[in-house]
Amino acid sequence: MTNPQRVLVTGGAGFIGWRCSRNLAGAGARVLIADNLSVGMPMPSIEACETREIDIRDKDGMMELVGDFKPDTIVHLAAIHHIPTCERQRAYALDVNVVGTENILDAAEKAGVGTVVLASSGAVYDWVDAPLDENATKTWPCDNYALSKLTNESQLRFWAERTGGRGRVARIFNTIGHDDPNAHLIPDILNQLYNAKGQARIALGNLKPRRDYIHAEDTASGVAALADDIGEANFDVMNVGSGKDASVEELVRLIGAAMKVDIEIVEDKERVRRVDRATQLAKVDKIGNRLGWSAKIGLPAAVTDIVARFPFKKAG
């Protein structure tokens, strides 16, 4: 970082959050991790990081926390990310993701915070068969999670216009890692392969969709890089992805190779989404040109790392 800062990281105990907090502290920042620990991950113990267990929906508590700590930067990662949860508990997800974000921005405004970095998602883009470009691809959220993230982007833009602060949006693509606490694709596959030897059969839904998979370490470094962006624009958006995509079938083959297991995929009709975008690939020129950032861990290496460190649990 250009100068040591005081940084508040909401969701700082989470999958991306603890890594981002570690990176910021390692670069000289004093970091306060705020998390309600709702996903079951422990509060991290990181040198130069303070911790506070708090829910971002606690408006008065967030106002007090921000006012006391006086951060010059907030990295806002706290959210309900799991799409099935966002669909099943729609009001709850919007309460956390939208109302909680407004609480943070209100506290930031009153405390005179200079920069807010928001974790958004590649899911906010329209469904197009081309790399998704921050400046050229239109947004069109197609589920409750994407709706909440695009709303967050507008909330941040309004805050930046209102306060003169610097708002930065990280549109994060499909982040993977051994400690993903949500029931996403890779944990589902690996838990189906519990104790697999030689050959195994797994049940999956949609196999053809292609996604931009990025290791959590790379996602965290990209978000931290945005916290250090001193560009002139009050509000800006950058994709955080690998710039490469793979299908579900290709991902399974990489997992099989890492585990030395020959995997047969069986289509489970109950898992098939009737509507699913064919591709979701980040165009990453902007963050590369502006901040000199790029993902460092390729998908084969990411999968090998995840398999080696994954806490296997018997499926079902």
pLDDT at residue 250, as a whole number: 97
Highest mean pLDDT among 188-197, 264-273, 283-292 belongs to 283-292
Any idea which of 118-132, 247-261, 264-278 has the lowest mean pLDDT?
264-278
pLDDT at residue 85, as a whole number: 93
Q: Is the pLDDT reported for residue 19 higher than 90?
A: yes
Q: What is the mean pLDDT of residues 94-112?
A: 98
Q: What is the mean pLDDT of residues 271-288?
A: 91
pLDDT classification of 230: cutoffs 50, 70, 90: confident
pLDDT at residue 180, as a whole number: 94
pLDDT classification of 312: cutoffs 50, 70, 90: confident
**The tokens 């989404």 sit on which residue?**
273
pLDDT at residue 256, as a whole number: 97
**The tokens 């502006």 sit on which residue?**
290
- Write the class of the CATH domain 6-174+215-240: alpha beta
Q: Is the pLDDT reported for residue 316 higher than 70?
A: no
Q: Please, which residues have CB within 8 angstroms of residue 316's CB and are 6 or more apart in sequence?
A: none
Name the token pair of 215.
Answer: 């290791």
Q: Is the pLDDT reported for residue 53 higher than 60?
A: yes
Mean pLDDT, the chain, whole residue set: 95
Q: Is the pLDDT reported for residue 68 higher than 90?
A: yes
Q: What is the mean pLDDT of residues 40-56?
A: 96
Per the CB < 8 A criterion, the answer to whether 239 and 284 are in contact is yes
In terms of Cβ atoms closer than 10 Å to its own Cβ (0-12, 13-18, 19+), residue 2 is exposed
- The amino acid occupying position 295 is A
pLDDT at residue 93, as a whole number: 98
pLDDT at residue 104, as a whole number: 98
- Write the class of the CATH domain 177-212+243-282+296-309: alpha beta
Q: What is the mean pLDDT of residues 256-277?
A: 90
Question: Between vectors from CA 235 to CA 229 and to CA 241, what angle results, nearest 5°?
Answer: 60
Q: What is the mean pLDDT of residues 31-48?
A: 96
Q: CA 65, CA 113: separation in Å to the nearest integer?
A: 13
Cα atoms in the 13 Å half-sphere on the side-chain side of 209: 19
Structure confidence by residue, pLDDT tens digits, 149-164: 999 999 999 999 999 9
Q: Is the pLDDT reported for residue 136 higher than 60?
A: yes
Q: Where in the chain is the domain with CATH 3.40.50.720?
A: 6-174+215-240
DSSP state of 272: -
Q: Is the pLDDT reported for residue 315 higher than 70?
A: no
The pTM assigned to this predicted structure is 0.95
Q: Is the pLDDT reported for residue 181 higher than 70?
A: yes
Q: What is the mean pLDDT of residues 111-122?
A: 98
Q: Is the pLDDT reported for residue 1 higher than 60?
A: no
pLDDT at residue 272, as a whole number: 84
Q: Where in the chain is the domain with CATH 3.90.25.10?
A: 177-212+243-282+296-309
Q: Is the pLDDT reported for residue 2 higher than 60?
A: no
pLDDT classification of 275: cutoffs 50, 70, 90: confident
Q: What is the mean pLDDT of residues 163-168?
A: 97
Q: Is the pLDDT reported for residue 232 higher than 90?
A: no
Q: What is the mean pLDDT of residues 237-247?
A: 98
Q: Nearest 5°: phi and psi at 24? A: -65, -45
